[in-house]
Amino acid sequence: MSSLFTNERLLFTPATPNNDAIPLIFAFPNEYTVGITSLGYQVVWSTLAMREDLQVSRLFTDIREPLPRQPEILGFSVSWELDYVNILTLLESLDIPIRANHRHNNHPLVFGGGPVLTANPEPYADFFDVILLGDGENLLGDFIDAYKEVRNADRETKLKALAQVPGIYIPSLYEVEYHSLDGAIKSIKPISSEIPAVIQKQTYRGNILSASTVVTEKAAWENIFMVEVVRSCPEMCRFCLASYLTLPFRTASLEGSLIPAIEKGLAVTNRLGLLGASVTQHPEFNTLLDYISQRKYDDVRLSISSVRTNTVTEQLAQTLAKRDTKSLTIAVESGSERVRKIINKKLEQSDIIKAGINAKAGGLSGLKIYGMVGIPGEESEDLDATVTMMQDMKKAAPGLRLTFGCSTFVPKAHTPFQWYGVNKQAEKRLQFLQKNLKPKGIDFRPESYNWSIIQALLSRGDRRLSKLLELTRDFGDSLGSYKRAFKELKGQIPDLDFYVYQKWSSDQILPWNHLQGPLPQSTLLKHLNEAMNQFETMEKELEVLEC
Ligand code: SF4
């Protein structure tokens, strides 16, 4: 067995599979160090490995456990869009056709889950037999139990039976019609009346959230023990997938979930990661900090995945600084109050500056501030406001190392901004910030604009893109390959502009219309209208001023 596996310290006890156990491969479509650092992968793997009715083997792109000769199920945990390339390569390496409709009874059922597929599985729909939508806590067990009922049936019977389980999506059982080959979607319908017309993403309602089930020095964050403090975020910034896709906001019980998990983890390592979209919004966050501040944990290195700007207190900064964290990351999105109002970011300018002052006073040496350009309704003046905000921060907290990380707005399914395209001015806006922040001693780190374009393509893509993804992989998987593949498929699928830049009408059938997220479309439209009212009001105010 690879030394990578022998370095693992397991925090659960795998079951001994029974004689009739189902041979299952659970894959992460990237290298071991990346996969084993994914809390989602760890938790699903251990949940499967604790069942004696399954014989589970793990597969990564670089290493694998001994694999069964005739796997019945092959699962993928997908947390990064571009890993689809590795999914296709792994399928080929196992002699499994990459398209679901080319598989036969003797091929395993290929399932996928994770944030990428829950948000919008459609570009990858043709590669999977089964997609699990939403939280795995109950869904995973429901899937395996339902599979056992039809284990000896043919593929078609299996798929039809699985389609009855809430949260299980069988893409091949839905037919998509288009207005034209390169036009919008006309309808998405199940192929027969026994198949549910809409699949509801599953939501786990308990207060025991995830924690690492394995600790290893070979993880990308060496020896880290991770605990999920909160799930989702109550703020609902209008573009934010981390909030909208996983609503409602849930918090782990301090006594029943967090403390027992941390005790178990810190018995084997001294590196602790607190995970969640808005960790500091846990109602008992300060008690948790006090708990971690005990003397017995003096040597613990603490990392926090995200901190809401107006919760950066001096106490938090001090605790982090004492625990080997040098800098903190906050997301403000824009220095413009106007844009923050549009996106529902309830943050005052003074909160932002105060975060910098507190970070410095608490002993941190750096602050990373995240922003975004191209947000719907953003004007070029709003960028001036971002530059001014950073200058004000520099003055208010002299000596604090400031970094401004900036991405481009990318529309995400199930958010109110799903109908907007990428702003064509975004690249110029990134350049503007670069030109104006660097000379002022602020480290500017833009995210690749080209990568944002691919992200937008995949986040609003439909199942016609599977052809494009296959071709792109053949052409070498670079940005140029996407362009070349679009050229090759001209007339057969819509162009890049349709998916990435166009503002879609709210009447348009979305590729994920049959996949129900946490909020109905009517609520998303209401939130969109509230945002649009913000810029309309502002435009009117501007007109009055100009008169
Ligand atoms: S505060 Fe952050 S995590 Fe929460 S909704 Fe806004 S952007 Fe998303």
Query: d(Cα 241, Cα 96) in Å, to the nearest integer?
Result: 32
Residue 242 CA to ligand 1 center (angstroms) comes to 7
Percent of the chain whose predicted confidence (pLDDT) is above 70: 98
Query: d(Cα 471, Cα 465) in Å, to the nearest integer?
Result: 10
Residue 307 CA to ligand 1 center (angstroms) comes to 10
Secondary structure of residue 105 in the 3-state scheme: coil
> Tens digits of per-residue pLDDT, 341-356?
999 999 999 999 999 9
> Tens digits of per-residue pLDDT, 274-333?
999 989 999 999 999 999 989 999 899 998 877 889 889 998 999 888 887 888 899 999
pLDDT grade for 535, boundaries at 50, 70 and 90: confident
Residue 397 CA to ligand 1 center (angstroms) comes to 24
> Which atom of ligand 1 approaches the CA of 244 most closely?
5
Q: What is the residue-wise DSSP string for 5-43?
A: HHT-EESS-PPPP-TTPEEEEEE-SS-HHHHTT-HHHHH
Token output for 108: 């395993």
Query: Where does ligand 1 bind, in terms of residues with CB under 6 Å?
Result: 233, 235-237, 240, 242-243, 277-278, 308, 331
Secondary structure of residue 484 in the 3-state scheme: helix
Query: Cβ-count burial of 95 within 10 angstroms (0-12 exposed, 13-18 middle, 19+ buried)?
Result: exposed
| DSSP class of 490 | B
- Is the separation of the CB atoms in 404 and 369 below 8 Å? yes
Rg of the chain taking only CA atoms, in angstroms: 24
Residue 477 CA to ligand 1 center (angstroms) comes to 31
Residue 447 CA to ligand 1 center (angstroms) comes to 18
> Which atom of ligand 1 approaches the CA of 241 most closely?
8
pLDDT grade for 3, boundaries at 50, 70 and 90: confident
What count of other Cβ atoms lies within 10 Å of the Cβ of residue 153?
13
Residue 545 above 80 pLDDT? Answer: no
Among candidate residues 124, 137, 118, the one with its CA nearest the CA of residue 245: 118
- Is the separation of the CB atoms in 266 and 225 below 8 Å? yes
Query: d(Cα 124, Cα 298) in Å, to the nearest integer?
Result: 46
Residue 387 CA to ligand 1 center (angstroms) comes to 22
Closest CA to ligand 1's atom 3: 277
Residue 372 CA to ligand 1 center (angstroms) comes to 13
> Which atom of ligand 1 approaches the CA of 236 most closely?
5
Query: d(Cα 386, Cα 497) in Å, to the nearest integer?
Result: 29
* Residues 6 or more apart whose Cβ sits within 8 Å of residue 297: 266
> Tens digits of per-residue pLDDT, 427-439?
999 999 999 999 9
510 — phi, psi (to 5°)? -85, 150
Probe residue for ligand 1, chosen from 308, 310, 370, 409 as the CB with the greatest number of ligand atoms within 8 Å: 308
Probe residue for ligand 1, chosen from 237, 330, 414 as the CB with the greatest number of ligand atoms within 8 Å: 237
Residue 32 CA to ligand 1 center (angstroms) comes to 29
As a whole number, the mean pLDDT across the chain is 94
Identify any residues that bridge with 156 across adjacent strands, giving them in sequence order. Answer: none
- The number of CA neighbours under 13 Å toward the Cβ of 61 is 14
Probe residue for ligand 1, chosen from 282, 345, 368, 370 as the CB with the greatest number of ligand atoms within 8 Å: 345
Helix (H), strand (E) at residue 119: helix 115-119
Tell me, what's the pLDDT at 307? 85
Q: What's the whole-model pTM score?
A: 0.94
Probe residue for ligand 1, chosen from 232, 235, 279 as the CB with the greatest number of ligand atoms within 8 Å: 235
- Is the separation of the CB atoms in 412 and 459 below 8 Å? yes
Residue 239 CA to ligand 1 center (angstroms) comes to 9
pLDDT grade for 2, boundaries at 50, 70 and 90: confident
> Tens digits of per-residue pLDDT, 182-207?
999 999 999 999 999 999 999 999 99
What count of other Cβ atoms lies within 10 Å of the Cβ of residue 12?
16
Query: d(Cα 340, Cα 237) in Å, to the nearest integer?
Result: 9
